[in-house]
Structure formats: C-alpha cells, structure tokens
Structure 1
Amino acid sequence: MNMGPDELRDRFAALTTAHVADACLRAAAPVRCAPPGVGPVVAGGRAAGRVLPTRHVGSVDIFLEAIDRAAPGDVLVVDNGGRTDEACVGDLVVLEAQAGGLAGLVVWGLHRDTVDIRAVGLPVFSLGATPTGPRRLAARPPEALRSARVGEWSVDPDDLALADEDGVLFIPAIRARELFDLAESIRDTERRQAERIRCGEPLRAQVGFGGYLAARAENTALTFRDHLRAVGGAIEE
C-alpha cells in the first residue's frame, strides 16, 4: 500500500534526498535525480508528494487543469524541456497551487516573479529565473497531463517527488516504505559515525580502512563499497 501524504511528509521531514538516493543504491532501484541545476527558489525549501505531471506548451491553462484534478499533497512537476529562453511558471501559478493544497512545484525549466514566489512560501524548484514569460504556443500533446520529463527521466503519478536543498529525487510510490526504511537506517548509521568522529575516533578507524587496504592488496577485485557493507559502514550508500 502506498504512503499517504501525511505519512510521506512526516517521514521525509527527518530525512534528506541524499539518504533516500543511497537507499535506492542499496535496494538496486534506479537513482532518478533531476539535473543538478534544479534547485530551490525558497531557501530551505522541502517538498514531498505524488507527482502531478504537466507538459507546458505555452499557456497557463495546463497548470490550472492539473491543479483542478490534484489531490492534497501532490507536487506539480512541470516539463518545459529544460528551456532557458523563457519562464513557464510565475507567482500566480504558485499561489494557485498553494490554494489547491499542493506540496510544491518542480520545474524542468525557468520561473519568474522570484520575489513574489518567495513571499508565497510554497517550495518551488527550478533551473533558475528569467524575466520573460512563454515565447510560443504549441500544440498540446495527448500525454500532457499523464507524464513529464525531467532531464533524462520520465515521471508520472505512480512516482513520488522528493526535494530539498540537495535537489530533486523521484522514487516509485509503491517502494516508498522500503526505501524510507533503508534511508532511515543509513541516516542513523551516518549519525553514529559522525558522533564518533567528533569524539576523536577517525572514520578510517571506524571502517577499518587499513584492513581494507591490506585486503585489497590480496584481492584487487575488492571494492571499498563491498568492504563497507561487510563492516556496516554507510558513507557511500
């Protein structure tokens, strides 16, 4: 059973996208990150929710239609093809999303009205800002409200969007509990390791780095990740 929006929000509040990305590695799930340029417009912004996909073709009506059919806690994911010659989202769309109960927006493209968007306070993640709005009006594809692309990834309502100051990560909703359980375990291990460093025990000692170097000399196929799994380290996943 998928997580509800309240459980998702509460559990992600104690995690980061980095923890969940490491969990994806450990669970052999694809690590689907938005390109590194997609970042928060509002400092400290965080969002977690079901993907509400839209494909922008030059008019705001696609966003209004998506919001009209949204469920509370959804994240509006806007596919503008990564364009950097126009903004596709402004403050009115963000206000409308907030009024519709959405958890935030992820924009594969640019926004504008930065000052007003920050005043609204709803988490928005985009490639950046430009003053100009849409510069064209194209035909609307049949899948405009069924899926969206962000970088190399296609996402749809079967996915969750997780976003914080490290960026945006997409995970299958059906695997959310499994991945969050792993992410929480990784987080707890890393916190213990960090506390031990602060108390004077170097990370090299904690993970038996000298032993790893000796073992690697005997077995050149041995990777540090294999060694970390054997000793319970979590610094790479």
Structure 2
Amino acid sequence: MHKRFTELSTPLVADACVRLGVPLRAAPAGILPVVPGHRVAGRALPVRHYGSVDVFLEAFTTHAAPGDVLVIDNEGREDEACVGDLAVLEAKVTGLAGVVVWGLHRDTADLVEIGMPVFSYGAHAPGPVRLDPRGPEALRTARFGAHTVGADDAVFADDDGVLFVAADRVDAVLDTAETIFRTERNQARRIRAGETLRDQTRFDEYLRRRAEDPEYTFRQHLRRIGGAIEE
C-alpha cells in the first residue's frame, strides 16, 4: 500500500473515492505533517487518548503490526499536546509507519530528528494534566472529526491532508487513483506542449451541449470524453 501511494497523493485518492462511490472520509482541514513532504500509508491502529501514554503502549503491545499508522483520537483538543518524542520514538521502534493525531503534538525538534511521519493540527508545549476514565472503545476505534476509524481502515496522509478508506476497497481505490494520475499527467504534458485544457476537454462542445440542455454538467461531459480533472 505504501509503495503504491508513493507516486500518488491524497487528492488523487479522494477523487478515486468519489468516482467509485466509496465514502469520502477526510480528516478535518488543517492537519499537516510535522516535516513538510512526509507521507504515509498503512493500516489504521486506532487509540483514544484519555490523558495518559499508557493507551499507546498497550496498543503497541497488543494490536500493532509493522507498517500500521497510529490514529490518535484526542477529540481535536487545543489545550494540550497528546503525543511527543517518547511515544513517537516507541512507535518507530515498534515498526509503525507513522502517526496521525486529531489534536496537537509537542517536542517538535525531537520529532523532526526521529524522522517518523507525524501529522497533527499544530504544536503546543503543555502536555495533558487530566486523567479521564477510560472507555471501552479505547483500543477499538478512534474518532477523527465526523468519522470513526477502526483497524479495518487504511490511512493515507501527505501535505494535502489525511484520508481514511475501508481496507477492502483500497485496491480498487488505488487502481482508480493510478488511472486518474496517468490521465492528469498526460493532460499536463499536453498543456505544456501548447494544447490548452479547454481544447483537450472540448470545452466549446460542452458549452454548446449545455446551451441545449441546461442540466448537462461539466462532470458528465468529462466522463463522456474520458477526462479526469474534476474527479
């Protein structure tokens, strides 16, 4: 999965989900890698944070597999960082591929040195001072914005954001993303060679058809001619 994602991007994966009718589950806007350019893809390892690092250590001990991506539900809190250098270093030596956090991180300089892809909504110096009661879903699922993520999901993350895709749809989504990628790269090559995108998409033809049928959409037109720029 990670190897196939190397030449792709989360926008391409998102477009593939739309084209296939796969639920589009994106992390709330604003999540970024601690190190720009980092990317990761792998099976989700979900945890819910209640104020203590022990839930991460238990997940590493009982549920983790090499290549997993730790998905941390800290309810999007902005008053504490829930993950730092020690937890991320432990994730790395456990064999995980990366970490995505619905919340904040700290120890930025150390995370950069560790080099593991970490995605969060920003840095914050204070760690948790609370210790909330642990719920039964602590190691089963993680909430991430409006979405619930489980071990039967895959995670894709890069500079454009984080997406969650059901594991049983990943191959089809990546196949479609690769098709869109090839189409768009060819379109870009032709633009650079002097053939405008309007010419490639037969935009004049689209305008004529829309004049005849106001319900005819550009997306329908692209599907009919094999374009890919909107999905």
Q: Give the structure-1-normalised TM-score.
A: 0.96
**Please, which runs of 5 or more residues in structure 1 have no aligned partner?**
1-7
The answer to whether 1:120 aligns with 2:110 is no
Q: Quick one: which amino acid aligns to residue 191 of structure 1?
A: R
Aligned equivalents of 1:71, 1:234: Cα separation in 2: 36
* Aligned counterpart for 1:109 among listed residues 82, 103, 128: 103
Instruction: Determine the structure 1 residue equivalent to 2:150.
Output: 156
**Please, which runs of 5 or more residues in structure 2 have no aligned partner?**
none
* Aligned counterpart for 1:141 among listed residues 135, 138, 142: 135
* SS of 2:12 mapped into structure 1: helix
Instruction: Determine the structure 2 residue equivalent to 1:5.
Output: none
Q: CA deviation at 1:38?
A: 1.1
Q: CA deviation at 1:203?
A: 0.2
The ranges of structure 1 where at least 4 consecutive aligned residues each deviate by more than 2 angstroms after the TM superposition are none
* Aligned counterpart for 1:168 among listed residues 145, 149, 162: 162
Aligned equivalents of 1:151, 1:27: Cα separation in 2: 23
Q: Quick one: which amino acid aligns to residue 128 of structure 1?
A: G
Aligned equivalents of 2:210, 2:36: Cα separation in 1: 43
Aligned equivalents of 1:42, 1:95: Cα separation in 2: 15
Q: What do you get for the CA RMSD once the two structures are aligned?
A: 0.6
Alpha-carbon deviations, 1:192-232, whole Å to 9, x = none? 00000000000000001111011001101111100000011
* SS of 2:70 mapped into structure 1: strand
Instruction: Determine the structure 2 residue equivalent to 1:44.
Output: 37
Instruction: Determine the structure 1 residue equivalent to 2:220.
Output: 226
Instruction: Determine the structure 1 residue equivalent to 2:50.
Output: 57
* SS of 2:148 mapped into structure 1: strand
Instruction: Determine the structure 2 residue equivalent to 1:18.
Output: 11
Aligned equivalents of 1:131, 1:66: Cα separation in 2: 25
* Aligned counterpart for 1:33 among listed residues 26, 47, 53: 26
Instruction: Determine the structure 2 residue equivalent to 1:4.
Output: none
Q: CA deviation at 1:67?
A: 1.2
Alpha-carbon deviations, 1:169-211, whole Å to 9, x = none? 1001001111111000000000000000000000000001111
* SS of 1:51 mapped into structure 2: strand
Q: CA deviation at 1:14?
A: 1.5
Instruction: Determine the structure 2 residue equivalent to 1:67.
Output: 60
The answer to whether 1:213 aligns with 2:207 is yes
* SS of 1:225 mapped into structure 2: helix
Q: Quick one: which amino acid aligns to residue 7 of structure 2?
A: A
Instruction: Determine the structure 2 residue equivalent to 1:187.
Output: 181
Q: Quick one: which amino acid aligns to residue 86 of structure 2?
A: L
Q: CA deviation at 1:135?
A: 2.6
Alpha-carbon deviations, 1:83-126, whole Å to 9, x = none? 00000000000000000000000000000000000100000000
Q: Percent identity?
A: 61
